[in-house]
Every structure is written in C-alpha cells, then in structure tokens.
Amino acid sequence: MSRHPTTSSARERAALVRLTTRATRTIESAAALDELEGLARAAGAEVVLRVAQERDAVDPGTLIGRGKAGMLAAAAAEADVDLVIVDNELTPAQAKNLEKLIGRRVIDRTALILDIFARRARTREGQLQVELAQLKYMLPRLAGSSTALSRLGGGIGTRGPGETKLETDRRRIRQRIAALEQEIAAVRRRRGYLRARRRREQTPVVALVGYTNAGKTTLFNQLTGAGAVASDALFVTLDPLVRRVRLGSSGQVLLTDTVGFIDRLPHQLVAAFHATLEEVAAADLLLHVIDAAAPDRDRHMAAVDSVLREVGADHVPLLLVFNKADRLSHAEREAIAARYPGAFLVSARDGSGLTTLVEAIARQLAADRTRIVLELDRSDEGDRALLADLYRHGRVVSFESGTDDVVSIEADVPRRLVERYVRSSRTA
C-alpha cells in the first residue's frame, strides 16, 4: 500500500498516544490529548488517531507495553498513519523499540514542541536558541548503524579505520553546541547592556507572560497599537516584542510580549531561551495573562508559575489578567472575582476592561513614587532636557511660570528618579 508523502507540502497523518500512570493522574487524558492535538496541528500534522492507556507504571522498554504497541501498530496501519506522537517523554531506547514494533516514525512531546519552535523562529537569536535546544535533545538519542568496519578492533585483522560515524556525529554536535553557547552568551551580554541602558533611562518594563494561546499578543496589540501577528494557535509569538506605551498622564513604560509557556515546557528550551526569559526576571511588573474560558485554566496557571520560578522571576510584582472574559457567563465572572480578589477581567478582542487594567498598571508602578517640586530655567539647555524627561517619566501636578524663564513644577516621580531630578531643589 502506498504511503502518504512526507514532504513539506503534505500534511503528515499522526496518531496521538498518552500513557497515564499513578504518578500522572493529576492531568486528565482527554485534556492532555486535546493539547497534544493542538501542538500537532501547529506543527502541520493531521490527527487521525488518538490512543489513551492506563498502567500502574511505565514499561521501561516500550513505555506502553509490547501488547499495546502491537495493537497500536494494527490501528496505525488501518488509519495509514505516518507518524506517532507520544505525549509522555520517551527514553532513546523506548523510542527505538516503539518504532520497530509499530513500523512508523515515533517522536515524543518534547520533539514536537522543539519542531514548532523551529518553525516559528524568525530572528537570528530565536533560531540560535532553538537549534541549541534541538541539538541538546538529539545528542543522547543518536543511534549508530553500519559500524562493522568502523570500530577499533582488539587484534590483528580486526582494526577499523578509527572513529565511527556515530562518534563523528557526536563530536560535531558537541562542537556546534559549544559554538551556539558562545553566540548566545554574546546575546545575553547585549541584552544586559540594553537592560542597563533602560535602568539609566529609568523606563519601567512591564512584561506579558502566560500560557500559550492565552491571548497575550492580542492584548499587546490593544495596549500598544502594534500590528503583531496574533492567531488562535500555539506559540505564535516566539521572538519577544517590545513597544513603548504611554499610560495617560502617568508616564510611559516598555511593554514586552514574551513566548507563551506550556505545561511540561522542555528543559532544553528553558535553558536555551534563558537569554530571552531573563527579560521577564528583570521586569518591573508582570501581567499574567490567563485564558479565562479554558476548562483547565488552573493547570495553565500552575505551569506558568512553575516556569517563572525556574527563570527566577517569581519575585517580580504580578497582576492576574483573565482574558477572553467575553466568553464567560455572568456567574463565571463572579466566581473568578470571588476566587481571585484583585484580578482583572478583560477581553483583548473587544477591548472591555482594558481602561481599568491600564489604570491599575499605572497605580502599581506609581506605588513607589514621591512628589517633588523643581525650579527650572527654560533658557538653560540642561534644564530644558530635564523638563522634557520629567514629562516623559513622571506625572506633572502643577506648572507655574515665574520671572524670566524660571518655572516651578510639582510632579510625582518614581523614588529611584528623585536624585536625578532634584539636584538643588527640594522635595514636597
């Protein structure tokens, strides 16, 4: 029977498999398979078969057991499956054994997520980080073949030509990993310089974080007027976006849209994207954007909290923003408000609740502000620059013109900027 082509123009027919054990019963199989199906579609696959199994423990050789693997092989043949995607993480031996038993290519959830990231990376930085994660995943999974004449022998007539192809591949991968780590280290240094410059400018940074497909990019577009690509798909935003936003009369901030998180985000990706995720840890305020209509939103929130802890961002002040509130009933809105006092219900699609959210961001950032009074000479170039900077980062309460070009200004500014503005002036 002819098999479906696996060229880039054809959609691969995929079977999804999930094993639930006593240790993983906290996640419902149906919800996990739904999310895996979304990931498979994001990678360009057509899901034609879903299989769930329960066992007390993982089978060390095949994950699901040889009997279940045989049943899966028959079902995959009947559905003309090209690819089997396993929701659980596979060891190299399990993947190899399953491929032999099923007769189809087998990958796990981590490999699928890495493939999606590779498809979505657009900038050089994103591509470097994805390649590093893929190589670190691939290295322990290399398998040798046709090595009969390649190994060093133990006696006369048994010596091969030296290094095996497998060993050569591993050496080249390690060399490439080392080169990528050097390039990414340079990216981290550049980001560090940019953060230091922002600290000197004292522009607050607000970062959007959240589970993938929670609507962060739509919210980002609403708040900034940007035209970033937003879609009802997973991992649309991979490379971070930064825009300057003015919060009414309360000054301006830098708003950052970051990569969406996901439950069981591969550690290779967290490590590789550390240069990008450092931006989250260095922010002044985080907006945790949550899909309010998601049936398993508690699990999504826990996954985001876990990644924030992993990247050292759990100390940053955070506002909970429940997005897609237009999909909720009145009773559901009240339940969220009762369970999460101080959280914000918004709809990035129709803009409802955004005014209240912007006011809350301004209040949060202004919590450490103090009021100062300055006397500036508009004929002095330095004072004119200081006046412009004051309007950019502070909130002017009163402005009075005096004699000549001297003006008296009362303004609320971040405490960290007081020394910068006050000079010989006095605080109120």
Q: What's the structural domain count of the chain?
A: 3
CB of 45 closer than 8 Å to CB of 12: yes
Domain contains 126: no
Query: End of a domain among 115, 142, 161?
Result: 115
Is residue 91 predicted with pLDDT exceeding 50?
Answer: yes
Query: End of a domain among 115, 137, 152?
Result: 115
Q: For residue 36, how many other CB atoms are within 10 A of its CB?
A: 21
In this predicted structure, which of 93-102, 216-225, 267-276 has the lowest mean pLDDT?
267-276
Whether 64 and 92 share a structural domain: yes
Whether 319 and 378 share a structural domain: no
- The pLDDT score that the predictor gives to residue 301 is 94
Question: Cβ contacts of residue 400 below 8 Å, gap of 6+?
Answer: 407, 408, 409
Whether 218 and 353 share a structural domain: yes
Whether 388 and 266 share a structural domain: no
Whether 36 and 108 share a structural domain: yes
Domain contains 98: yes
Whether 322 and 415 share a structural domain: no
Domain contains 82: yes
More confident residue, 98 or 379: 98
Name the band, by pLDDT with cuts 50, 70 and 90, for residue 416.
low
- The pLDDT score that the predictor gives to residue 248 is 66
The CATH number for 359's domain is: 3.40.50.300
In this predicted structure, which of 128-142, 176-190, 264-278, 383-397 has the lowest mean pLDDT?
264-278
Phi-psi group of 104: left, alpha or beta (phi > 0 → left; psi -120 to 50 → alpha; rest → beta): beta
pLDDT (average), residues 381-394: 78
More confident residue, 92 or 260: 92
How far apart (Å, rounded) are the C-alpha atoms in residues 420 and 428?
16
Query: To the nearest whole number, what is the mean pLDDT of the chain?
Result: 81
- The pLDDT score that the predictor gives to residue 395 is 73
pLDDT per position as a tens digit, 127-154:
888 888 889 888 888 764 444 444 444 4
Domain contains 184: no
pLDDT (average), residues 181-205: 76
Domain contains 335: yes
Q: What is the dihedral of CA 160, 165, 167, 171, to 10 degrees?
A: 130
Query: End of a domain among 347, 365, 383?
Result: 365
The top-scoring range by mean pLDDT among 13-17, 130-134, 162-166 is 13-17
pLDDT (average), residues 164-193: 84
Q: For residue 19, how many other CB atoms are within 10 A of its CB?
A: 21
pLDDT (average), residues 199-224: 84
Is residue 157 predicted with pLDDT exceeding 60?
Answer: no
pTM across the whole model: 0.71
Name the band, by pLDDT with cuts 50, 70 and 90, for residue 368.
low
Q: For residue 417, how many other CB atoms are within 10 A of its CB?
A: 18
Domain contains 268: yes
Is residue 331 predicted with pLDDT exceeding 50?
Answer: yes
Whether 111 and 17 share a structural domain: yes
The CATH number for 422's domain is: 3.30.70
The CATH number for 18's domain is: 3.40.50.11060
- The pLDDT score that the predictor gives to residue 71 is 95
Whether 230 and 307 share a structural domain: yes
Whether 82 and 33 share a structural domain: yes
DSSP string, 379-405: TSHHHHHHHHHHHHHSEEEEEEE-STT
More confident residue, 10 or 240: 10
Domain contains 164: no
Domain contains 177: no
Q: Which two tokens stand for residue 162?
A: 């030296």
Phi-psi group of 178: left, alpha or beta (phi > 0 → left; psi -120 to 50 → alpha; rest → beta): alpha
Whether 344 and 215 share a structural domain: yes
Is residue 399 predicted with pLDDT exceeding 70?
Answer: yes
Q: Tell me the residue range of the domain where 29 lies.
A: 13-115
Whether 387 and 345 share a structural domain: no
pLDDT per position as a tens digit, 23-54:
777 677 888 899 899 899 988 899 999 999 99
Whether 342 and 412 share a structural domain: no
How far apart (Å, rounded) are the C-alpha atoms in residues 222 and 215?
11
- The pLDDT score that the predictor gives to residue 8 is 45
CB of 320 closer than 8 Å to CB of 290: yes
Q: What is the dihedral of CA 144, 150, 152, 156, to 10 degrees?
A: 140
Structure letter (DSSP) for residue 59: B
